[in-house]
Chains A and B, each alone.
Chain A
Amino acid sequence: MTSWVDAVARRARRALHRLAPGWGRRARRVVSPWRRSLSLRVVSITLLVSSLLVAAFGYFVAKQITAGLVVAKREAAVRQVGSGAATVQQQLSALSGAQDPQLGASVRDVVVNLYSVPTRAGTYEVKLVPDPRIGVAPYGGPATDQTRIEVPAALRDTVNHRGALAYQFTTANPDGGPKRPYLAVGEHVDVGWGVFDLYYLFPLDDEVAAANLVRNTTIIAGVALVLLLALMAAIVARMVVTPVRAAARTAQRLSAGLLHERMEVRGEDDLARLAASFNQMASNLQNQIVRLEELSRLQRRFTSDVSHELRTPLTTVRMAADMLYAGRDEFPPSSARSAELLADELDRFEALLTDLLEISRFDAGFAVLDAEAVDLAPIVQRVADGFAVLAERLHAPVRLHAPDGPVIAEVDPRRVERVLRNLIGNAIEHGEHRPVEVHLAADDRTVAIAVRDHGIGLKPGEEKLVFNRFWRADPSRARQTGGTGLGLSISLEDARLHGGWLEAWGAPGQGSQFRLTLPSRNGDRIVSSPLPLVPPDADVLPVAPLALPAGPSSGDDRPVSGSPPGAGRHPVPDSDQAHVAATAGGDRDD
């Protein structure tokens, strides 16, 4: 029922809105509680429907009773007129004819007699109208004002011409007041020597009063009934709505983190079952949450402890190794070389430990984004400068292409810097002694940094694998920077934490490009990147580039969204699904 009421309301609203644009605001003030309160809807609908029903019923009852009253009155009146006609015929037929000197007196006597007949048809007026040829005036009784009541012409015609009993409802105001309804009945009386028309006029005052009484009673009873029904509906709705509201409130508090919130269970009815099921659900949820929180806390604690317990002795070892390294000139050659190896490998060990702890921090879900508005250009410049020595050694100069002026975004500068160190470091290492291009660009909502190398590139399918932990393109290749194999996995997690993307493109012999896209405002969703993933100078034929986003770290078989060959200028991701992995920071599917 509500649905069609709503539908009608909607349509009416739309129609009214077209007619009067200002109506919308006023309507919303009325409509908003209607949409928000179930009790209001129930009460209103009950009120409407019961009003219609009661009105129809009352109308029918009143009509029936009035009709009954009228029929009874008419039947009594017809009987009265019949007996009156018999009296007239009996008394006047005794006269000798129209010339009888007694005629005038007899007519008066008859009428007076007719007034005194006991009757069930209530009070009445009588009018005896002789045939005009008889020559006696019509007589209506001794009270002069009675003669003022006119017999309707139509009735007179019917009685006169058809010579039969007839009746008609009429109105009259014999005493000068407002017109009152009358029932006029006429009968044609043949007294042998002439004809008379006998008319009775029955006032319907009692019947009108009775009908009014019935109508008023019905209206009062109907209104009372409707109000009672509405009240009952309100009470019933309240009985249902109160626990539902309590459930909604409890659910809100639960979702706000108050896990101990429960509903009150009273009785054994459906509402009690609702409350019991709700509480059951809340308990299960609470147990799960508490269990997960405990797990997460343990994991966090473990990571933190491992971190501290490992780092303290490592610090001692590190310092000891540095002391030995500093004094290696005084050692015999084998010991000196050992000191060198010790110091070098400690660097690797340290880097690995740092990365492992960082990854486990992401896995435990307590990596925190420490975002602030910063200019990205100096960060990129700084990272590039940091690699100057290595770049020179490998003849892979880093070329920066940034717009004039600051590129400001709300990011965690330490994480962005770490990602860039990774990308630029990898690009130099795999760049085959060719320049590394770094592009920085921004639009209204996003910033992007693309790092391009011209090395051996990536084989099809490797764009996804590069983000896997400990994945190496070619295990036999000599490593220059001593990476841990975790760098890109961490970078991907850093991008996710920002709600950003980290994607890879590569083609054999053409090098590769990594693109980091981040929202300018922390918390925004990004839908496109200001930089193309496939570099414009890439020859996309004959090998179709796979412009796919960085998948999750472990090998999954997510559908690959490939750009069609030749269309790789701005491979804005067309499938959201493929991007979910890199966009949403929270959802982990590995």
Chain B
Amino acid sequence: MLVVDDDPALAEMLGIVLRSEGFMPSFVADGERALSAFRDTRPDIVLLDLMLPGMSGIDVCRAIRAESGVPIVMLTAKSDTVDVVLGLESGADDYVVKPFKPKELVARMRARLRRGEDTAPELLTIGPPGRQINIDVPAHTATRNGAEVKLTPLEFDLLVALARKPRQVFTREVLLEQVWGYRHAADTRLVNVHVQRLRAKIEPDPERPEIILTVRGVGYKAGTG
């Protein structure tokens, strides 16, 4: 795994904690070298501080997301909507607000890494007839009209969760639990931002979604036409 943080004390402490939990972290202190370090080490997960010298965490996040779907967890000192939403929109899967408890961080990271357990062959479709997205769950691919849609693992999980029960309305809290692995409801903005990102990739017109519908005051459901 890769940790991008400019504070040496925090980085060292993170190293101690993460190693004791069985991770093998490598560290980089500024944004500019983060991308090359990412290409060198090919980590399974990236822990990224939002405030960095050189290139900002947001830009690093965008750059990594442009070439990989690797899980990214942001570390942020700000819990303001603007900062969090900006971070999520730039491609982060989850975020942890400083100061965090080590257990919390490890739980978040494990939740993001816990994948590929279900290997039973499963083919799903979502969306109204004619605009359907076909999902091959074990292969982790989603296709529209035969062409593959590039989704990050998190977006894929979100889509699968909705597609598995097309008639059910999912509250944001339920999605947080199923997709993100939060046991207690956390920040529903995570769901909102990722649904927006997912819609931008799969909806013919993201302004008038047909595949993932909003149920006002409740949550989201799969569109079946």
Contact = CB atoms under 8 A, between A and B. Distances in A.
Interface stretch (A315-323, A389-397, A460-468, A482-490): A315-323
B145 interface: no
B99 A322 contact: no
A374 B78 contact: no
Classify the interface of chain A: helix, strand, loop or mixed: helix
Contact of B51 (A308, A316, A319, A378): A308
A314 B100 CA distance: 9
Contact of B78 (A307, A313, A314, A368): A307
A311 B99 contact: yes
A308 B78 contact: yes
B217 A408 contact: yes
A305 B145 CA distance: 49
Nearest to A307: B77
B39 interface: no
Contact of A312 (B7, B17, B173): B7
Given A304-B78, A373-B217, A386 B101 contact: no
A356 B56 CA distance: 27
Interface residues of A, number: 30
Contact of A378 (B98, B102, B103, B173): B173
A373 B98 contact: no
B10 A312 contact: yes
Contacts of B75: 315
Contacts of B86: none
Contact of A373 (B14, B187, B216): B216
B36 interface: no
Nearest to A409: B217
A314 B81 contact: no
Contacts of A413: 188
B107 interface: no
Most A Cβ at <10 Å: residue of B16, B75, B218: B218
Interface in A340-377: 350, 361, 368, 370, 372-375
Contacts of A408: 216-217
B118 interface: no
A179 interface: no
A276 B188 CA distance: 53
A406 B77 CA distance: 35
B189 A316 contact: no
A370 B81 contact: yes
B13 A406 contact: no
Interface string A405-427: 01010000110000000000000
B171 interface: yes
B139 interface: no
A312 B189 contact: no
B189 A322 contact: no
Interface of B: 7, 9-10, 13-14, 16-17, 20, 51, 75, 77-78, 80-82, 98-103, 171, 173, 184-185, 187-189, 192, 216-218
